[in-house]
Homo-oligomer: A and B are copies of this chain.
Amino acid sequence: MYTLSDNFSAMKPSQTREILKVTSQPGMIAFAGGSPAIEAFPCDEVTKISNEILTENPVSALVYGVSEGYQPLRDTVKKWLKEREGVGTDDDSVIITSGGTQVMDLSARILCTKGDTVICEEPSFVGSLNCFRSHGLNIVGVKIDDDGMNIDELKKAVKAHPDAKFIYTIPNFQNPGGTTLSLEKRRAMYEIARDNGIVIVEDNPYGNLRVAGEDIPSIKTMDEDGIVIYAGSFSKILAPGIRVAYALVPDKMVGAFTIAKQVSDVHTGVLNQMIVQRWFEEYDVNAHIENIKKIYRKKLNLMCDCLDKYCGGYISYVRPEGGLFIWAKLPDGVDTNDYVKRLIERKVAVVPGSAFMIDSNADCGYIRLNFSTPSDENIIKGVEIMGEVIKEF
C-alpha cells in the first residue's frame, strides 16, 4: 500500500484549523480567526469593476495568463510599491501570486532542498511554518523581543547554521507577536544576511495596516545586494478571498520564481488580477487604506482597553501598532490549553500560542487574539469573559 512522503507523514493538522472549526459554532465569540474586517472590503467597487471587465471584454479575463502575472498589474504594483514604500529598484521585478503564503512556498521551492535550514522568528505565522515543514526544512527559531527578532540570538543561529538558506521575518505587526522590527534591527538583520550569503524573505502582509507610530522602511529598501524577497498581499487591504498577492524579487531570481509558479498552479486567476488592476485605475487605493485604518484603529484600541480593564494584572501584552493580532501572556503557572478549553466552554475562541511555536507541543504561556473580525460588542463581552476565567486559575 502507498505511504505518504517523508515530509507529509510528519505533518499534523494545524491547531489553528481545529480551533477555527470550533469558532463556527453558533454563539461563539471568535478571537481565533485571522481575517481582515469584512466592513473594510470595497464591495461596491469590486462588484462594479468585475462587471465592467466581464461586460467589456470577457475573453480577456477568461483566457490563460502568463505565470509571472498580468503585466499591467505587475507594472502597477511595482510603481505603487516604489511610490508608497520606496521599495524596488530597476533590478527587481514583481511576480503575482495566489495569496501571500504562495510567496513563502515558491521561495522555499527555489532556494531549499529537503533538510536545509531556514531561520524564523519564534513564534511565527503557522501557515509559513507549516509550509516550511512540508518541504522537510529544518526550522530554527529566534526569539522575539518587544522590537522584533533578537539580533544576538540571530547571530548565534547563523553561526550554528552557516548554510541557512533564508531568514523569514514578518517585520510589521508580526503574526502572532504583534511586534514591529526596529530600524536598527532591520539594518542589522540585512547585514548579517548579506555577510553570510543568506536570503531574507520579508513577509509584509500587514504593513499597510499601521494604526499608530511611524512607518519604518522595509528591509527591501536596503537591498543593494539583491538578497531580499519581499512579499505583500491584497488580502488585507482589498479582500482575502480574491487570492491576489505579490513578490518583489531580485531579477536574477525571476526565472526560477516563474518556473516554480508555473509548476505550482500555472498562473493566478486572470479576472482576479484584472479586478485588482482596475481597482488601482479607478479608485484611490491609498485613500482607501487610510479609511480602513480607522476601523482597525478603533477595534485594536477597544480590545486593548478591554484587556486593561478586565484582565489587567493577569494578562499582559505589548500594544501592537497595527496588524490584526494581540499576543497576550497568561500568568505564570496557568496551563494555556486548560485556559483555552475553559474559554471555549464559555463560548470564546482564542488560539493557544503553542500553535505558533516550532515545537507545537510546547506550552509557551501565550494566546493569540484577533481583533479585526469580532463586533465591538463581542470584543467587550469576550474579553470580559477572558478576565472572569483567568481569575479562576
Contact = CB atoms under 8 A, between A and B. Distances in A.
A241 B4 contact: no
A6 interface: yes
Interface stretch (A55-63, A179-187, A303-311, A356-364): A55-63
Interface stretch (A95-103, A213-221, A292-300): A95-103
B5 A101 contact: no
Contacts of A59: 38, 41, 43
Contacts of A271: 50, 241-242, 271-272
Contacts of A7: 109, 113
Using C-beta atoms within 8 Å of the partner chain, give the interface range for chain A. Answer: 35 or more
A302 interface: no
A165 interface: yes
Interface string A102-139: 10010001111110100000000001001101101000
Interface string A258-276: 1110111111111110000
A8 B110 contact: yes
Nearest to A197: B1
Copies of this chain present = 2
A197 B2 CA distance: 6
A110 B2 CA distance: 11
A51 interface: yes
A368 interface: no
A191 to B, nearest CB: 15
A111 B41 contact: no
Contacts of A239: 62-63
Nearest to A67: B17
Contacts of A116: 5
B265 A105 contact: yes
Contacts of A8: 109-111, 256, 259-260
9 contacts: A2-B166, A5-B165, A6-B113, A11-B259, A35-B64, A50-B51, A62-B239, A65-B241, A131-B263
